[in-house]
Amino acid sequence: MRELSARRVTVTGGAGFLGDFVVKKLREKGCRNIFVPRSKDYNLVDNDAVIKLYKDSNPDVVIHLAAVVGGIGANRANPGKFFYDNLMMGVQMIEQGRLFGLEKFVAIGTICSYPKFTPVPFKEDKLWDGYPEETNAPYGLAKKMLLVQSQAYRQQYGFNSIFLLPVNLYGPGDNFNPEFSHVIPALIKKIYDAQEKKEEKIVVWGTGKATREFLYAEDAAEGIVLAAERYDKSEPVNLGTGFEISIKTLAELIAELSGFDGTLIWDTSYPDGQPRRCLDTSRAESEFGFKAKTDFREGLKQTIHWYREYRKQNKKD
């Protein structure tokens, strides 16, 4: 087991939604030497900036969370950018980490890397059994290349890099910008806006038949930190709950918890994305003792409450 409290840890994306929870978990573990680069100071798509980051932070461990990411709409509008930026950030962070003599690299992948029609529950050994769902394939494949690189570098150089696959995240502090938000924050915002305007219906993308699995961001952070401490193998590891819910049921649940009794209109001109998503989470539990704790309904309540307080505060400001 790696004692993180005695290590210098750099967390790319550490000021973001998931990163904020990861930094808090590291502090709870007694880690005091945490470096969080900001994109204005370190554009990680630029190799020179990556080299500067390693020189400035002098890390023992890197947790690479930084990503250019969004929902179906953002993926459809930015396939080239999502591919290039995510690939270049990850590839350069790993290569320069190897040259720097880094002790451990924790690469965060994406559930979008799985084939479109992966049998449920998704097992890690099915990652290469087909092409990802088309709307987010460029993003998913860019992230998947970090797994290839991690395994190749371990084989050739003995470089200790691990690869984690968190399922869709949600929680307080999520991105509620409609251009880039995922389904949970998008629905929470749509319902809040409708209630403010006293509207009696909202439009939801797709048919509602697709299923998804969601992991509370604080739980995901716990899994990432446990893996940083305890896991040192090449095989990819899912982080999730093993709980599957249809988008239709999800939308109805968010409406209920938000006190919205209006109508949900399904716009089927928009794609559903991957038909089903649900993970086999047994490897994370057996390898480093991770099991998600947060009840989904309770996690949604916390997220809705956070967003409502955030909107109230912004009105005052």
| pLDDT tens, position by position, 70-113 | 777 777 888 999 999 999 999 999 999 999 999 999 999 999 99
**Within 10 Å of residue 267's Cβ, how many Cβ atoms?**
10
Domain boundaries, the chain: 4-170+213-243+276-294
Q: How far is CA 124 from CA 58, 210, 284, 288, 292, in A?
A: 33, 21, 11, 16, 18
User: If pLDDT is split at 50, 70 and 90, which confidence band does 317 have?
Assistant: low
Phi, psi of 192, deg, nearest 5 = -60, -45
Is the bond preceding 121 in cis, omega lying within 30 degrees of 0?
yes
Give residue 118's pLDDT: 94
Q: Which helix (H) or strand (E) holds 212?
A: strand 211-212
**Residue 278: strand, helix, or coil:** coil
Tokens of 228: 């940083």
**Within 10 Å of residue 106's Cβ, how many Cβ atoms?**
23
Give residue 1's pLDDT: 64
DSSP label at residue 115: B
- CATH class of the 4-170+213-243+276-294 domain in this structure: alpha beta
CA distance 114 to 238: 11
CA distance 272 to 274: 6
Tokens of 231: 């896991």
- Nearby residues of 98 by Cβ (< 8 Å), 6 or more positions away: 153, 157, 159
Mean pLDDT of the chain: 95
In this prediction the pTM is 0.94
Side-chain-side CA neighbours of 124 within 13 Å: the count stands at 17
Mean pLDDT of 116-144: 95
Q: What count of residues does the chain have? A: 317
Point out the least confidently predicted range of 53-57, 87-91, 133-137.
Answer: 133-137
- Nearby residues of 242 by Cβ (< 8 Å), 6 or more positions away: 121, 213, 278, 279, 280, 281
CA distance 168 to 303: 14
Give residue 316's pLDDT: 65
Tokens of 139: 């993003």
Tokens of 238: 């899912």
253, amino acid identity: L
265, amino acid identity: I
Q: Catalytic positions, please?
A: 139
Q: Is the pLDDT of residue 284 over 80?
A: yes
Interval 228-253: pLDDT, tens? 999 999 999 999 999 999 999 999 99
CA distance 73 to 221: 26
Candidates 21, 88, 82; CA nearest to 48 is 88
Candidates 144, 58, 57; CA nearest to 107 is 144
Residues 22 and 224 sit within 8 Å (Cβ to Cβ): yes
Tokens of 47: 């190799």
User: If pLDDT is split at 50, 70 and 90, which confidence band does 162 have?
Assistant: very high
